[in-house]
Structure 1
């Protein structure tokens, strides 16, 4: 029995809360995961998990063993990283999913630098604004913006993107330019919704140190970042979006900033992955490279 492998399987089951998800994360068959846990319990002479049809709970012995396993696996991972994972030895495919705007405007233009540092890593980039299931789709890590839904994934904040409010001159000619938050009541917005949830994302402003949340009447609602900006350019309404997404349009005058005296909270950027202790070196170096990229653009 490979005790190190068994510890990895056990930690994966605990952190995913599922034999099936652990099997997917570790690229194993579910029966193999179940058998590994059974043999581990037999060798230790203690029940580690209480299983029901709907959930898995740690026993007191399982809780203690889980904490020890995390420490041991972290120590082994750190040792391997310090001694064996030089850039030239990092090989294999790395699949990352990220928002369209962030991929096109910031990350992909800089990715040749990553490839030059780690030529053995083959990148597969999914550029999508839709939620995905990392385990079932075989994605190593995902980059996300804004507030995160609760999940079993590990999330690491890597920076913040400036936000602002703007509109096309054609819209402002018809409806006027808002001067205060109260003026927004009579305005229309280009609203954004995510995934299958049709409820638009809230508008945010920082007022006297407090974040004020608002919902504006929709001139149009979209769930794609490129359609989001295109709708503002077409004059459908005011837009509150990433500065990086509208920068060129502000420079050429096709969009005009409004309410510029009111601060819009920056959008947090996070990277998510399944397990901290079992993090593959190729994912680890990508996270560090991405953090450095954000810092280089003064976005950390």
Structure 2
């Protein structure tokens, strides 16, 4: 038995909650994953998982072994990163998930720099606006906006982002610009809706103690993907609210016009998030430090 591979396989099964998912994530046959865990249990003389036709449950012994196995794997990865007198760079697979507009506007254009610094990291970049299951999908970290309430996650704040309300000149032509949130009732809204619930997110408008959570009052259009949302405003489909760093370059060119500049919601924090029970390896630490510097450039607190 390859004990190290068996330990890594058990950790993946425990985190994925499924032999099938673990096999897919490790690119191994399902029979091999099952055999490795069985061999590890036989070697230990202890049951690590309880199997049913639909799920995998970790035993008390399995939980204790999983915690120590994580430390062992983290130490081994660290050893790999310091081999040959510290001349090697972090290496191996790193799965990162990020929203579409952040990926296309911020991260991907700068990834050649990351590849040059860490050529041995195999980066798997999941790009979508949907919520992801970090553990179940084998994701190392996700870049996510908003307040974090899940105690099973650890987070590193990357920046804070502001919002602006805007529209294209082609939409505003022949229409009165809104001077107050109440004026939006006469306008079409290019809004963003949740891919999970199908419900639109309101425009958040705040000035001092006054606050409006505005939902469209007249027919308009909605999308559930952030790059498409920006493009819908550029196309003149209505008034929308988006991140300031996305809109400001279009303000300079005249492709978008800022509206209601005195009505600003609170800044939105952006975090790099990873499971609390996972020890950050050299790959994750390298990416975390690099991406923190990257997103510092759009931090609204700096302006």
Asked if TM exceeds 0.5, the reply is: yes
Structure-2 separation of matches of 1:12 and 1:208:
49
Question: Relative to 1, partners in 2 of residues 1:208 and 1:299: Cα closer, same or farther, differing over 3 Å?
Answer: closer
Structure-1 separation of matches of 2:271 and 2:114:
19
Q: Deviations over 1:31-56 (max 9, x none)?
A: 11111222222222222222223322
Give the match for residue 109 of structure 1.
Answer: 109
1:255 aligns with 2:256: yes
Distance apart, 1:94 and its partner CA? 6.7
TM-score when normalising by structure 2: 0.75
TM-score when normalising by structure 1: 0.75
Give the match for residue 24 of structure 2.
Answer: 24
- Whether the aligned pair in 1 keeps the contact of 2:81 and 2:88 (CA below 8 Å) is no
- Whether the aligned pair in 2 keeps the contact of 1:105 and 1:244 (CA below 8 Å) is no
Aligned to 1:254, the other structure's residue is in SS state: coil
Give the match for residue 184 of structure 1.
Answer: 184
Matches within 5 A, 1:268-283: 268-271=269-272, 277=278, 281-282=282-283
Give the match for residue 291 of structure 1.
Answer: 292
Distance apart, 1:153 and its partner CA? 9.1
Distance apart, 1:129 and its partner CA? 5.4
Give the match for residue 49 of structure 1.
Answer: 49
Aligned to 2:248, the other structure's residue is in SS state: helix
Give the match for residue 244 of structure 1.
Answer: 245
Distance apart, 1:196 and its partner CA? 7.6
Give the match for residue 216 of structure 1.
Answer: 216
- Whether the aligned pair in 1 keeps the contact of 2:15 and 2:135 (CA below 8 Å) is no
* Structure 2 residue ranges without an equivalent (≥5): none
Distance apart, 1:238 and its partner CA? 1.1
Matches within 5 A, 1:138-217: 143-145=143-145, 157-172=157-172, 174-193=174-193, 195=195, 198-206=198-206, 213-217=213-217
Distance apart, 1:14 and its partner CA? 1.2
- Whether the aligned pair in 1 keeps the contact of 2:82 and 2:88 (CA below 8 Å) is no
Deviating more after overlay: 160-169 vs 190-199: 190-199
Q: Deviations over 1:186-234 (max 9, x none)?
A: 4321012355864333433456689864422452223454543343234
Structure-2 separation of matches of 1:92 and 1:293:
22
Aligned to 1:188, the other structure's residue is in SS state: coil
Q: Deviations over 1:269-293 (max 9, x none)?
A: 4556789758775555333311221
Question: Relative to 1, partners in 2 of residues 1:124 and 1:8: Cα closer, same or farther, differing over 3 Å?
Answer: closer
Deviating more after overlay: 162-171 vs 97-106: 97-106
Deviating more after overlay: 48-57 vs 169-178: 169-178
- Whether the aligned pair in 2 keeps the contact of 1:205 and 1:265 (CA below 8 Å) is no
